[in-house]
Structures are given as structure tokens and as C-alpha cells.
Amino acid sequence: MAVYTDISETDLRAFLAQYDVGELTSYKGIAEGVENSNFLLHTTRDPLILTLYEKRVDAGDLPFFLGLMQHLAEKGLSCPLPLPRHDGRLTGELSGRPAALISFLEGMWLRKPEAAHCGQVGRALAELHLAAQDFSIRRPNALSLDGWLDLWAKAGPRADEVQEGLQAEISDELDHLSGHWPKDLPTGVIHADLFQDNVFFLGDRLSGLIDFYFACNDMLAYDVAICLNAWCFQPDGSYNFAKGAALLAGYQSVRPLSANEQAALPILARGSALRFFLTRLYDWQTTPEGALVVKKDPLEYLRKLRFHRAIVSPSEYGLEIAS
Ligand SMILES: Nc1ncnc2c1ncn2[C@@H]1O[C@H](COP(=O)(O)OP(=O)(O)OP(=O)(O)O)[C@@H](O)[C@H]1O
Ligand SMILES: N[C@@H](CCO)C(=O)O
């Protein structure tokens, strides 16, 4: 359960008094997620999500994240909406943390997605990229090359405790990515964390996207690579070609990838695998013992990284390459 910061009912009621949301009837910590503290609130009106922003969220970035959710919702994308306080602000403070109330989105995330679901995810990702094209606030990706090097400087020295040889392997990988990271691909706002737990379905239909707290400006095709990693591998670590093909076809049905973007997929997938390996490794080493959170396995992403290293052509991902 991701509840790093606890709240008292008295403080919560005082926080809610600044909003027009009815009376609190109950609340509980949410047993999912690893980044922020989330609570489900029931009121005499609609259910709500209360988020307390934790270590990786810079309060200065909240106008970007919350404004993006408003922008996407206005464009017809299904995502939660931040609620304004009486004074018009979208954020306040609770238990010493920046906090916001957002609307509750109906749906469930899928534990065992199939290719048809991946197709819908690809489509929704491309729709997000197009809908965000005219979003005016910018936020550079704090978890690209420089951010990876920072994380590695902190986590690298003890990496061999997790698996022998990791220090050398990841240092080499970072050298390679530094020398080959694409520079001229189309950019825009990316979600940057569109994992299974951030996509809701009602039955077999995608009903909405949540958790925009890593969103940033970066290469659009990098977001596709993140989704290939998050959605298209089996629990045994093997790549599922049918899922990859469906995800890529769904994406391209809305926003076709250019030849350069297609060619860059393997390196982008390597970078994306390394990004999640590094945050997981760092969290593995630093999450306090008592925290109510399930730590994620960094080695899952090491295996994905090794898979991408062996890719020769992006067609191996299921990409239909125009002849
Ligand atoms: N707007 C919402 N509507 C309904 N449920 C939500 C909403 N926002 C969050 N949740 C619930 O809270 C859980 C955790 O939320 P979220 O993914 O934003 O947390 P996180 O700590 O940022 O997680 P992550 O590890 O994915 O970064 C979700 O899996 C979902 O069950
Ligand atoms: N989706 C991330 C956690 C949130 O950044 C992971 O699975 O490592």
C-alpha cells in the first residue's frame, strides 16, 4: 500500500472545508501505487481521490500535472479532473505535504491484459499525444539521460549486492545510451508511466487514464517504448509479439510513426527499460522498512533491457514496416 504520510480525520475535515465537496462519510488509504500517498474518500456527494505528493514530485511541477489533466479532459480524453478549492487553487497542504483532490474515475486495471487491450492502449496513447499538442506549460523529463546518471551515481555503488556484475553492465549501458540517444525525433507531452495500473477498463473497453505525475516533454516514440515494456512482456519474461503488434498498430492508427521513430524503437526501449530499472533499484535500496508499499523488482527491467539489446530490427516488436 502506498501510504507514506498518514492523515488525521480532524486535519482531513479542515482540508475538505476549503472545497465544495459535501460532507466526509469515510476514507481509507489505497492499497496500490508506489509514488504518492492516495486515499479514497466517500462523501455525501461523489467519491474522490485525495493525493499527497511525495518524494519524486516537485510541488513546482503540480501546475503542469494538474493543468495537463484539465487540458486533456477538455479535449475529450477520459482522465481524472483536479477539483478547485473555494479560492480557485488546485492544491493545498495536508500533513505537511502538498495535496490535491481529484475526481474518481470508474474502472479497474487489468491484471492479465490481452492483445486487444494493448491495441486500445496504443490508440489512447496516440490520442493523448495529439490532445496535448497545444498544452502550453512545459516540463523537461527529469528522468532522461541526466536523471539516469544521477540515480546511478547514488544506486550504482551498491548495485552488485542485488546481482553480481550489475555495476559494470549498467555503466556500459549508460555509456552506450549517452552516445546513441536520439536527438531529432518528434517531441511533445508524454505520459511517461502508462503502466497497467494506470489504465482503467470497464469490461473490455478502456475507460480512462490516470497518474500523470511523470508526464513531461520528451520524444513521443519514447512513450511508445515505455508502453512496449510495460504491456508486452509475459510474466515469464518473454516478449509477446501479438501484444506488441496490437499496441503498435493501435498507436499508428491514430498517429503513424515516422521512419526515424520506427528505427529508433530498440534504443528507446533500452532507455526506457533502464529508466525503470534505475528507479526500482534506487527504491529497493532506499525505501524505509516500515513504509506501506510493495517494492517493485528491478531485475524484471534488467531482463527487458537485455532483450532489447539483442533486437536487430524494430519489426521484431511486431511493427509493420512499410516497404
Ligand atoms: N482518479 C482516480 N480514480 C479512481 N482510482 C484512482 C484514481 N487515482 C488513483 N486511483 C487508485 O489509486 C491507485 C494508485 O494511484 P496512482 O497510480 O496515481 O498512484 P502512484 O503512487 O502514483 O502509483 P504508480 O506506482 O503507478 O506511480 C490506482 O491504482 C487506483 O486504484
Ligand atoms: N510504473 C513504475 C512505478 C511508478 O513509477 C514501475 O513499475 O516501476
Choose the residue to mutate in 276, 278, 283, 301 for probing ligand 2, maximizing ligand atoms within 8 Å of C-beta.
276
Q: What is the ipTM of this complex?
A: 0.91
Task: Give residue 177's pLDDT band: very low, low, confident or very high (50, 70, 90).
Answer: very high
Q: Is 261 in the pocket of ligand 2 (CB under 6 A)?
A: no
Choose the residue to mutate in 104, 211, 213 for probing ligand 1, maximizing ligand atoms within 8 Å of C-beta.
211
Distance 167 CA to ligand 1 centre (A): 33
Distance 38 CA to ligand 1 centre (A): 7
* pLDDT per position as a tens digit, 78-120: 999 999 999 999 999 999 999 999 999 999 999 999 999 999 9
* pLDDT per position as a tens digit, 206-249: 999 999 999 999 999 999 999 999 999 999 999 999 999 999 99
Distance 22 CA to ligand 2 centre (A): 33
Domains and CATH numbers, the chain: 9-103 (3.30.200.20), 115-317 (3.90.1200.10)
Q: Which atom of ligand 2 is nearest to the CA of 276?
A: 8
Ligand number nearest to the C-alpha of 109:
1
Q: From the centroid of its chain, how far is CA 102? A: 17
* pLDDT per position as a tens digit, 249-283: 999 999 999 999 999 999 999 999 999 999 999 99
Q: Is the dihedral of CA 158, 162, 165, 169 positive or negative?
A: negative
Distance 33 CA to ligand 1 centre (A): 6
Compute the distance between CA of residue 34 and CA of residue 98 in angstroms, rounded to an integer: 17
CB 258 within 8 A of CB 223: no
Compute the distance between CA of residue 35 and CA of residue 54 in angstroms, rounded to an integer: 7
Hey, what's the cell of 73? 479532459
Ligand number nearest to the C-alpha of 284:
2
Q: Which pLDDT value is given to residue 33?
A: 76
